[in-house]
Every structure is written in C-alpha cells, then in structure tokens.
Structure 1
Amino acid sequence: MRVQSVRFGRHAVPLARPVSDAKVATGRQRPLSRIDVLTCEITTADGIAGLGFSYTTRAGTPAQFAHVKEVGELLLGEDPADIGRLYDRLLWAGASVGRSGVATQALAAIDVALWDLKAKRAGLPLAKLLGAYRDSVRVYNTSGGYLQAPIEEVTEKATQSLAGGIGGIKIKVGQPAMAEDLRRLTAVREHIGDGVPLMVDANQQWDRPSALRFGRAVEEFGLVWIEEPLDAYDAEGHAQLAAALDTPIATGEMLSSIPDLVRLIDLRAVDYLQPDVPRVGGITPYLKVAALADHARLQVAPHFVMEIHVHLAAACPRDSWVEHIEWLSPLFEERLEIADGRIAVPDRPGLGLSLAGRARDWRLDQVEFHLNGR
C-alpha cells in the first residue's frame, strides 16, 4: 500500500448571495461571496483514493496551493496509513514558515485525505474508524442568520430550518448599535419560542466591557452560547467572561495551532471549544485538542465544514453540536441527512464524499504528482 499519485486543486465555490457579519458591519472585511477550497486526492497503487480539503474565506488559498506544490511530492511512495509520521514529515518540510496559519492549513487537506483513505481501506465511515459514540449529532443552522438579511428574512429562514429537521438556530450579532442586536434577538426568540436552542455569534466584535454588558443583557434569553464575543486571541478576556456570565462562552474557530486552543482550555476560557479541522491543520491535530477538551470536561462544537465534523463529533464522548452551513454542499455529489434536530453520520466508507462533476467549473488551478513520473 503505497501512494501512487497526489492531485491538488484550487477551487472558488460561489455563494448564492453575499453574506455579512460583524466584521463587515464594522468595516474590517468585505461581504463574503465565495469560499475558496483546496482539495487533495491521494491514490494508492491498488486504486483506492482518499479525498481531503481545506478552505479559506476572502484570502489565503493561493498561498496554501503554493505550499502543497512544494511539499506534496514527499507523499509519493509512502505508506498512507502512517498518518502521524507523514504529518510530521510534511510539517518539518515547511518548518521555516511555522506550525500554524497557511502552512498547516495547507497540510489539513492532505491530512483529511489520508484519514479518508484509511477509513475507506477499512471499509468503515470515518466516525466508526475513530470509534463512534453515536450515529447522529445535534445540528444547528447559521447561514440564515447573517446581518445583511432583514429580521423578517431571518425569522423565515429559522422557520424553514426547523421544518427541515434542524435542531437549533444561530444568528449574528455585533452591530455598532447593541440595541439593534437586542431587537433582532428578541424577534427571533419570540418567533421560534423558548424551547428551541438559540445561539448568537459576535465574530470578535466587542471589547471586554461591551461583551460583558451584552452578556448580562441577554441572560434572560437562555442562549446555548455567546460565540466569539472578543478577539480570538484574547484568552484571558474570554476567561473573565466565562467566569462572570451564566450564559456559556464559545470560541476557538479562528485559532490555527494546538497551543492557542490549549490556552483556552487551560484558562477555562470557554464552555464550548470550537476547533475547525481545516484551520487547525487537519484531523490529526484536531483529535489531540478534542481529547484535552474532553479531559477538561468541556464541550467541543466544531466550526463549519459539517461534512468532516459530523464524523468527529460522533466520535466525541460528549454529544455536542455541529454547525449546518450548506455553502460547500455543491462541491460534493452526496448530501447529509438531517432529521429530528440531528445530522446523521453517513454510512459510506471514509467521509462518504466524492467531488461533483461541476467542481471542474470552479477549479482555478491544479497540480498532480505521480510516482516515477507516471
């Protein structure tokens, strides 16, 4: 079992309409109109192939693609089952650019492909290979709650999501006027009722006093969590909030190294840790962080890429949440099944995914490596 070929692709997947969060509302970023995706396909000499991917928003995928063009050829001839050893080899091949950010996010696509390949060779869904605790996980929707949408649209999207089997609703907050956030939040809570799990996401909008003020103002709403109230790297500030508020704190999605996420755990800065497989560098580092979080009795609620995270959440001892955002769905042939507030783990081997034919229409670049040049 040796790696015969490796193919990388750079894709731009358009959104149906641009979306805006607090970073847009405050002028730090432009509206998001597409997701850039780095794909990796690893094929062995006996024809079994693993599929992995990473992503960026607004910038970064060209740099990821350039990185894998430099290190990807090192996989050729290797045993793909040796995932940890291969990860370290590729990490050290690019050591001069560090162990976080673009370099490790590029490796995430490779790492996911290796895990997909390993599970396929075993004939098991990835969740089963890792050791599943359950066949489905709780799911909440985010894509209907962005700030560019008027509140009437947000409430209608919430109705549609719940009718489609979604179990919880998350909306964006963090506008310049906190009163507007509270108005929208009140409208959503009244619309969906007290029994539906509801989260809010500020996308790093506030300073510490503002976050504390908001947290105290929303205690009555019974929120599942307040997400990213502060700068992603302000672990101490998040710890202060977590200690001061009854409403749980969630963060971690923007952090791209194990030490950064471990700092949140050590400081008890979160109730829900939100690692993101493509951002933290792959499934291999994600599993290390998730084990530490569970040891600390924290919930792990992975960010975005439900196509990967449904497997990892199912293999976590604590039944937490997976985020439903359908933006990457057109890239794949298969669809995830959602019902009764939960998302089912696919019963197909590996991730249970294959690239859709239309992915070629969104491909901006591609490179392939073959053993012995063939």
Structure 2
Amino acid sequence: MNPLDRIARVRLSSVYLPLDAPVSDAKVLTGRQRPMTEVAFLFAEITTEGGLEGLGFSYSKRAGGPGQYAHACELAPDLIGEDANDIPRLWEKLAWAGASVGRGGLAVQAIAAFDIALWDLKARRAGLPLAKLLGAHRDSVRCYNTSGGFLHAPIERVLENAAAALERGIGGIKIKVGQPDGRADLARVRAARERLGADVPLMVDANQQWDRPAAARMGRALEEFGLVWIEEPLDAHDHAGHAALATALDTPVATGEMLSSVAEHAELLRAGVDVLQPDAPRIGGITPFLRLAALAEHHRVQLAPHFAMEIHLHLAAAYGQEPWVEHFEWLEPLFEERLEIRDGRMLVPDRPGLGLTPSERASAWTAERREFR
C-alpha cells in the first residue's frame, strides 16, 4: 500500500435540511405519516495521508437521521489507517463491524456515506467525473421532475410547476396519486395529461397506498393516459403483487425505492418488475448499487434511480440501457454547484468525482459534527 493512500481523517456531520413548505404524499392523506418538513443528511468527508479528499452522504426522511449518524460514529474509527483504494473490502469490513444490526436499513445507510465518499475520492484522484471512472454509456440522462407534483399542492399549482419544469428543460413530469378517493386521482391525472399534451412523458406515484384489487382497478383506469409507468402501486415488499400487476397491465410498473438491500432487489427482479428504482444511499452506497445494476441489466430491466440526483446521475450514466434520473431541487442548497439540464436531459458534470462542494448553508444546518483520526 502506498502510505499516502492511507485514510488519515474521517469527518462526520449530521445536517438537517429544512424544506420550504410541509410536503405531503398519499401516505399523509391516508394517515400513515406526518407531512415532511425536513430531510436529515449524514455527510462523510474522508481524507488520506496524501491530502486527497472524498465527500459522501446518506439521508433519511421523517425518522432515522440520529440513528444513522450514531451508527456512522461507531464505524468511522475502523477506516483510519486503511487503504482508500480497497472500497469493496472496506464495505465488507464496515458491514461486519455492524453485523448485529443487520445488512439492510439504517445499518447499511450509515455505511453508504463512507462508501460514496471513497468512490468520490477515487474519481477525484483520477481526475474524472464518477460516471467516467465507472465507464459511462452516455454523457447525459433523461430526467423527470417529481418535486412539483406532491398532493399537498392543488392541481393548478402542480400544473404550473410542471410547465416551469418543462421550460427549464426537464424531460418528463411525475405526479403523486394514491388518495383515499380514486376518482380524485383520475381527475388529477386527466388534468395533467390534457394540459401537458400527449407527447410529454408522464408518470404517477401511489407511494404504496393501494391494495391488490385497488391497484388493478386503478391500473386499468390509468391505461388511457399513456403513462411511462405507475410507481409503487402496492406495498414495497409485495414482490408477487407488483409482478402480477406488471403482467396484467400495458403500463409499466415501477418500484424499489423503499428496499434497503441488494438481496431485496434481487428477490424483486426474480418476481418480475418493469422498472427498477434503487436508491444508492438506501442500499449501502455505490458498491452495492453497482452489483445491483449488473443484476438488473442481466434481467434487461429499465433503471430509474430514486431521489439524490447528485449521485444517481453518475450511476445512471453508467447503466447499459437508457435510464431515467429523478429531478428534485431540494438538495441544491446543500452544495455550491448546480447540475445542468438541457433538452429533457441532465448533463453529467465534467468536474472530478461527484463534482460537489458543501455550501455555507450546509454548515449552518449542521446539528452535530465529529472528527476521527
């Protein structure tokens, strides 16, 4: 090992990003969750003896932020003195260090921040954007907006948001459904399709709020709108139900964002799904995401990673089949840089690594910070 590649310092930060207004999807309208007012982030900054640096992050919505940070603080000392090049080995080391809390959920979401930071460091050292280090298939990825389509906003506001997104250059629009009254959902989708026209890619997301009979009825009723996909029509762990629905409908069925391990995704792929929506921070970082992407490509499944476009743009660019990436502007205040969007596509930045620098506002929103040497 080159002594300069030894990890000399790990800095962890617990950051709470406030949202401009409380956000509601179907889980709120059905009484299962409260409106979301903030997103908790776990940032990891890793520095080698040679002065190379990498930045990674994980996140949690509504609950789990303090737990992720606490578990990361338990794991961080195990990285000191290690070779930053050995990313898969270090993932396994951290997983075994926290084996008593499992290999999914919060346990791997804490590891994700370290893993992403190590990949960022490796790409920076090579002087390449992460997508290029991984082996890009394209320099831009189709993108669609979700943040303007939540259920707390009346349909006219949603349509205004959609028009602004398309004007900005975003290529597709996703709106939330899954309300207690399915007729309200259908009216919302009809209004969107009529306003956007037949050529704009349109997706809907039910956020797991239908049972199998309701999903079948709503899926059939939604066929006329020519949707790109129906997202999470069923409980995220109902693999058989999603597979059966995908077989029954012409409209593709998408799911996967709530799964927190490669093993869970592998089970979903075996059952059958049209569009896979993994989330790198939720499944443990880039190392497990790459394993999952290879498996998904083997199954010839379309890929549309969930949230965290700042990370997923690079991973989607390295996927063999043409993917989608999800546009949320929520994270933009955390970083100095902005991603460029043009002609319906998000452009891979030419900056090394992820191409991200924490902003001053991120420091102001930091609740806790610890450094390990």
TM-score class normalised by the smaller sequence: over 0.9
Give the whole-Å Cα distance in 2 for the aligned partners of 1:285 and 1:125: 19
Partner of 1:146: 150
Partner of 1:121: 125
- Tell me if 1:229 matches 2:238: no
Q: Which range is displaced more, 195-204 or 357-366? A: 357-366
From 267, 280, 284, the equivalent of 2:283 is 280
Matching residue's letter, 2:82: E
Partner of 1:181: 185
Give the Å deviation of 1:223: 0.3
Partner of 1:311: 314
- Tell me if 1:298 matches 2:301: yes
Partner of 2:95: 91
Partner of 1:209: 213
From 327, 350, 354, the equivalent of 2:353 is 350
Matching residue's letter, 1:271: D
Deviations 1:196-250 (A, max 9, x none): 0000000000000000000000111000000000000000100110110000000
SS in 2 for 1:343: strand
Partner of 1:163: 167
From 255, 258, 262, the equivalent of 2:259 is 255
Give the Å deviation of 1:322: 0.2
Give the whole-Å Cα distance in 2 for the aligned partners of 1:302 and 1:82: 25
From 51, 63, 79, the equivalent of 2:83 is 79
Give the whole-Å Cα distance in 2 for the aligned partners of 1:44 and 1:346: 24
Partner of 1:190: 194
Deviations 1:275-305 (A, max 9, x none): 0011111011111111111111101100000
SS in 1 for 2:148: coil
Give the whole-Å Cα distance in 2 for the aligned partners of 1:296 and 1:252: 15
- Tell me if 1:25 matches 2:47: no
SS in 2 for 1:326: coil
SS in 2 for 1:66: helix
Deviations 1:54-82 (A, max 9, x none): 00001101101111111111111111110
From 16, 20, 30, the equivalent of 1:12 is 16
Give the Å deviation of 1:26: 0.4
Matching residue's letter, 2:140: S
Structure 1 runs of 4+ aligned residues shifted over 4 Å read none
Matching residue's letter, 2:106: V
In 2, are the aligned partners of 1:201 and 1:228 still within 8 Å (CA)? yes
SS in 1 for 2:57: strand
- Tell me if 1:101 matches 2:105: yes
SS in 2 for 1:13: strand
- Tell me if 1:363 matches 2:369: no
Give the whole-Å Cα distance in 2 for the aligned partners of 1:99 and 1:38: 18
Partner of 2:337: 334
Identity among equivalent pairs (%):
65
Deviations 1:66-101 (A, max 9, x none): 111111111111111100110000100010110001
Deviations 1:302-328 (A, max 9, x none): 000000000000000111100000111
Give the whole-Å Cα distance in 2 for the aligned partners of 1:288 and 1:182: 38
Matching residue's letter, 2:10: V
Partner of 1:34: 38
From 44, 53, 60, the equivalent of 2:57 is 53
Matching residue's letter, 1:190: E
Partner of 1:130: 134
Q: RMSD value over aligned CA atoms?
A: 0.5
Matching residue's letter, 1:51: L
In 2, are the aligned partners of 1:147 and 1:173 still within 8 Å (CA)? yes
Give the Å deviation of 1:18: 1.2
Deviations 1:9-59 (A, max 9, x none): 000001111110000010100111111100000001121110000000011
Matching residue's letter, 2:48: T
Matching residue's letter, 1:272: V
In 2, are the aligned partners of 1:90 and 1:107 still within 8 Å (CA)? yes
SS in 2 for 1:65: helix
SS in 2 for 1:36: strand
Matching residue's letter, 2:293: A
Unaligned runs of 5+ in 2: none
Matching residue's letter, 1:323: E
In 2, are the aligned partners of 1:35 and 1:327 still within 8 Å (CA)? no
Deviations 1:340-360 (A, max 9, x none): 000000100000001001111
Unaligned runs of 5+ in 1: none
Give the Å deviation of 1:256: 0.3
